[in-house]
Amino acid sequence: MTVPESPHTGTSESRLIRIALWVAIGALIAAAVVCVVWVLIGSDNDIVGRAFLTILLLAAFAGVALLDARLAARRPAWFALASMVSWVAALLVGAILIWMPARDWYYSSGGFGRFASFLTIVLILQLALLHARLLIKAHLRHVTGFTRAVTIITIAIVVILAVLLILPLMFWEYVDYRDPYWRAVVALAILAAVGTALIPLINALFAPKGPRAAGARAPQLQPWPTYVDGVTPLPVLPDGSPDWNAYYTGYPSTVSQAIAPVAPLAPVAPGFGDPNAWPPPAPHPTAPHQAEPPVAPGYEGYPPPPPLPPRP
């Protein structure tokens, strides 16, 4: 089953992911060959238990490699390759701890010390990888020559520090690490902490501010005012504002002069009680055609105002 490529994954990144998979396959084959040779030519001390632990180690590495391959499309290419390299290093360390000759008192502890050392080494590798990813992500917020140099130097120091912490966990049975060694470890830890703290501080001072928090409420569009019926929207004046005068009169202000009568009715002459004697009323002049007022943005879907009632 092929892994779908991310839309941000290019040809070079796909090549790095393929390289990571081939590194995993090569490491798995190499570890299996070395363990088989060790079984054939090694001593007979607890060989069955070591072989069983080796099978478990190879199976765990294969499962982790498959998981990394599935997640590679969602990760940066460099992180996918670095993650695979860290698991390859864990595989080699585990094989060494399983097949390394043990001291006489090793069998009395049942190998628990080496198992605890292996778990601690895996934790150190993953913490170093997580540190690199978070530091590079913070660095990309504000990239300058100084921050790039600080990031590269800090990651290199963290890698060296991880190696210096792993070595005593692997060979604590045979090597006595004296005071200068641990002084160097503490010095590198201080430098790594300073480099890690510099990037967020520089971002806080000079990095461009991000968008507003997702929890902040966006301004809401106010509803357009309506007539008394609560349904028909008010007309729009030429400047785009609501015609508030139409709310009280019931008629749009822009056509109020056109629909007004231009001539009053004739006065009633005294003594004439027959309504048929009156001449027919003069028709009202037709209002001239007027251009429709502009519609305010966001209110194009409202129905037009109701037609005017006929004049008596």
Residue 288 lies in a domain: no
121-162 tens-digit pLDDT: 999 999 999 999 999 999 888 888 899 999 999 999 999 999
Amino acid symbol at 116: A
Residue 239 lies in a domain: no
208 burial via Cβ count (<10 Å: 0-12, 13-18, 19+): exposed
Q: Which two tokens stand for residue 34?
A: 């070395």
Residue 169 lies in a domain: yes
Query: Are 23 and 75 found together in one domain?
Result: yes
Alpha helical stretches, state H, the chain: 11-41, 47-71, 77-99, 106-109, 112-139, 145-171, 179-206, 244-249
Q: Locate tokens 């879907």: which residue? A: 301
Residue 156 lies in a domain: yes
Q: What is the pLDDT of residue 310?
A: 61
- Give the residue from 156, 173, 207 where a domain finishes: 207
Q: How far apart are CA 40 and CA 252, in angstroms?
A: 101
Q: Into how many domains does the chain fold?
A: 2
Query: Are 76 and 136 found together in one domain?
Result: no
Chain-centroid distance of CA 95 in Å reads 38
Alpha helical stretches, state H, 207-241: none
Query: Are 98 and 131 found together in one domain?
Result: no
- Give the residue from 178, 207, 236 where a domain finishes: 207
Q: How far apart are CA 194 and CA 153, in angstroms?
A: 11
Query: Are 20 and 51 found together in one domain?
Result: yes
Residue-number span of the structural domain to which 177 is assigned: 111-207
Residue 281 lies in a domain: no
Residue 92 lies in a domain: yes
- Give the residue from 149, 178, 207 where a domain finishes: 207
Contacting residues for 166 by C-beta, under 8 A, at least 6 apart: 93, 121, 124, 125
pLDDT band at 33 (very low <50, low <70, confident <90, very high): confident
Q: What is the pLDDT of residue 262?
A: 43
231-240 tens-digit pLDDT: 788 888 877 7
Smallest CA-to-CA distance from 80 within 133, 136, 1 is with 133
What predicted TM-score, i.e. pTM, was given to this entire model?
Answer: 0.58
Contact status, residue 97 vs residue 118, Cβ threshold 8 Å: yes
Q: What is the mean pLDDT of residues 108-133?
A: 86
Higher pLDDT, 84 or 27: 84
